[in-house]
């Protein structure tokens, strides 16, 4: 008879189910540093592919009244007259999380990691939005508000011509 070792659940811990698929626990009261550390861990080795490959990194800003163009520009030090394109959070992640018939093992694993990242952000942030700042050489922020009202999420870069 096989015995399964019980795992003690910690707040915000990434758990494995019996079918070995990680689950992300919802926890809107994570300590200030826990969510960025989880983002960093999950996004390790992930790159946003455009005309360049850019790392996915945690972004932690300051408190904001809302997730808005103005808040993103202010908290990222971008000029107030920067071109900003707001995107739907789910739409942004759709192409990153969908698996295709032609995917090999590496592409499939990358898509699974993006699913984990998306779920972590969805479960720990509210009012999620994506902002592409700039022209051609873009800074991309997928952010929401954490339990303390801080602008938090991920940042990356892209070149789009």
Task: Check whether 151 has a pLDDT greater than 50.
Answer: yes
How confident is residue 102, by pLDDT bands cut at 50, 70 and 90?
Answer: very high
Q: Tell me, what's the pLDDT at 35?
A: 95
3 state DSSP class of 26: coil
Domains in the chain, CATH or no CATH each: 33-159 (3.40.1460.10)
- The least confident of 19-23, 48-52, 136-140, 149-153 is 19-23
Q: Which residue has the higher pLDDT, 156 or 19?
A: 156
**Residue pointed to by tokens 């996915």:** 56
pTM of the model: 0.79
As to burial, measured by CB atoms within 10 angstroms (0-12 exposed, 13-18 middle, 19+ buried), residue 140 is buried
3 state DSSP class of 60: strand
Q: How many CB atoms lie within 10 A of CB 141?
A: 23
């Amino acid at each position: 008879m096989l015995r399964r070792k019980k795992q003690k659940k910690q707040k915000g811990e990434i758990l494995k189910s019996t079918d070995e698929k990680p689950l992300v626990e919802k926890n809107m009261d994570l300590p200030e540093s826990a969510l960025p550390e989880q983002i960093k861990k999950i996004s390790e080795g992930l790159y946003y592919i455009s005309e360049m490959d850019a790392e996915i990194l945690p972004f932690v800003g300051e408190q904001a009244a809302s997730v808005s163009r103005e808040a993103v520009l202010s908290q990222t030090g971008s000029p107030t007259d920067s071109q900003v394109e707001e995107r739907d959070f789910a739409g942004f992640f759709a192409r990153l999380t969908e698996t295709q018939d032609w995917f090999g093992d590496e592409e499939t694993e990358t898509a699974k990691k993006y699913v984990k990242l998306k779920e972590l952000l969805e479960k720990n942030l509210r009012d999620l939005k994506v902002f592409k700042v700039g022209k051609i050489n873009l800074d991309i922020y997928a952010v929401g508000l954490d339990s303390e009202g801080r602008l938090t999420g991920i940042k990356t870069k892209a070149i789009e011509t």
